[in-house]
Structure 1
Amino acid sequence: MTRIILSLMVLMASLNAAEIYATFSIEAKKSANLAFYSSGIVNKVFVDVSSRVKKGQKLVELQNDDLKASLQIAKASLKDAEVTLKYAKKDYERQLLIKDLIDEAKFDKYLLTYEKAKVAIVRAEANLAYQQSLLDRTLIKAPFDGVIFEKSVEVGDVVSGMMLRTVFKIQSQIDRKLILEFDQKYWKKVRIGNSVKYTVNGDKKVYTGKISKVYPYANSENRKIKAEVKVKNFIVGLFGDGYILVPDDK
């Protein structure tokens, strides 16, 4: 009984709605072209076309043994600076307790050593961060959970800073969006939340969805306005058409 009532409500809403024709193409909700911004020779490729990846997962790596060594040296330097600071602070605090009993110049030496140790920590931390950033440039990681749909790199390829190119293309795994286009004369009628019924080319099934975004401009060349509908599982690049249901002015 409940289903019958709901069906009747949907039917009545449709009868009281005007239909605005729209065409659409299907895009991934998220997509990105990934490229190195460092030069080098490709050392490892961890994924292939159709690989499903998690955010932060390594995709490809340049030869970077020298940078890894530099990073280890930077970590050791920071550790050394931390030890120096630890004992410089102890010396300073001991002298602070007897400050009034010792020569002022002697106390200042302990204070200077302590302050220099703190500066050395800042310098060591900055160097570590810099070495880490250089190493990170030799890696490409997935920016979000997704699937690789194009790959143009192999082990041994040379990546040049003068000719940086896309090596992977990634898109969200199942989340998609319809990019609707409708006549600009309906700009006052179409709103977020409007229902859409549509068919995808090659599929006779009629789908339904709701507008999640309306673009705030009209294309001056074709006099169309765009809107989005969130969907799932369709192949990116497909197209179709349908109708946006809006309240009937009558």
Structure 2
Amino acid sequence: MNITVIGGTGLIGSQLVTRLREAGHEVVASSPSTGVDLLTGAGVDQALKGADTVVNVSNSPTFDEASPDFFRTTTGNLLSAGERAGVGHQVILSIVGVDQVPQLDYYRAKTLQEDLLRQGPTPYSIVRATQFFEFMDAVLSWTSDEQAVRLPATRIQPLATADVVQALADVTTAAPRNGTLDVAGPEVFPLDELGRRTLAARKDPRPVVTDDKAGMFAAVEGDVLIAGPDARLSATRYEDWLAANS
């Protein structure tokens, strides 16, 4: 199968390119560094030439009110180029519960991306993932100082990016779902408790203060970031991942 990965040099994209090539597929890794600019459309037609499937794991450079325009423009350009190239399957990576948190600019932007894909001209698949283990250090940094880390008790079900990549690879090489697959980790944690476990593994003595107004995830209510009963659950536990990455 001929596959183009948009965002193919990033955290998820680079792993996906490797995984697909190891499985014997012909893969083009596309990103601004390879001359492909989804915002302007430059290089997109060439990147999609001969592609059976396109996987879009590119991301907005910001999480603020500018992100909807980014996804509106880039998704439109990619769908148009895909139609011209005769692409038979468009795949994107999104977020579990993304349409349940309209108060977050970035989540509204990703919901818009999903809607544009559904309304587009090409059969599609959406892989919605929960939060990544690899992003936990960044989450801690948003609301921390030298004395403490402040986190809400928002419940999340994180997973390793390697497991996201495997799910994407499986969906990419199968028939279009014309629907969504949720992928999530095997365990649910309050975010503040996950912060405590992370700091302990990092030998960081700072306390985690539970603060339901701290950080981006403070805007999330209930269990909307928890995967539903039909989700694909990965096997990698956070404690095991921490032990291997601390």
Structure with greater helix percent: 2
Does the alignment reach a TM-score above 0.5? no
With CA pairs under 8 Å and 6+ residues apart, which has the higher RCO, 1 or 2? 1
- Under TM normalisation by the shorter chain, which class is it? under 0.3
Structure with greater strand percent: 1
| TM value normalised by structure 1 | 0.18
The structure having more radius of gyration, on CA atoms, is 1
